Amino acid sequence: DVKVTQSSRYLVKRTGEKVFLECVQDMDHENMFWYRQDPGLGLRLIYFSYDVKMKEKGDIPEGYSVSREKKERFSLILESASTNQTSMYLCASSFSPSEGLRNQPQHFGDGTRLSIL
């Protein structure tokens, strides 16, 4: 079974802090994703990565950055946390066969509930 592990289930930080959310997958997946989930807005894609050191902006990248130094690890960084970044953050990964990532299901971690005070 695919295992996607997010380092923290709950996190409380203060406005202006630099925040790191970590995600690790154990299935050698090429693709990794960061989403946030908010009531009434659903899941929105922040950033994704097709390979080590590669990154692509999703729908709402403002205020965030990412790092993928190793294939199994994808970090989301809040450069200067603000209260509107209080949310549930979900990491996902998927396999990418030679024909591309289109056909493979995404596997999700348990999420990190982040509160910015």
Partner 1 sequence: KQEVTQIPAALSVPEGENLVLNCSFTDSAIYNLQWFRQDPGKGLTSLLLIQSSQREQTSGRLNASLDKSSGRSTLYIAASQPGDSATYLCAVFSGANSKLTFGKGITLSVRP
Print the binding letters for residues 41-70 with partner 1: x by CB under 8 A, - otherwise.
xxx-x--x-------x-x------------
Indicate whether 32 belongs to the interface with partner 1 (CB under 8 A): no
Indicate whether 73 belongs to the interface with partner 1 (CB under 8 A): no
**Least Cβ distance, residue 115 to partner 1 (angstroms):** 13
Binding residues with partner 1: total (CB under 8 A): 25
Which span sits near partner 1 by CB under 8 A: 12-20, 63-71, 74-82, 95-103?
95-103
Q: Of 25, 26, 45, nearest to 37 (Cα)?
A: 45
**Least Cβ distance, residue 80 to partner 1 (angstroms):** 27
Which span sits near partner 1 by CB under 8 A: 12-20, 64-72, 74-82, 108-116?
108-116
**Tokens linked to 35:** 């989403």
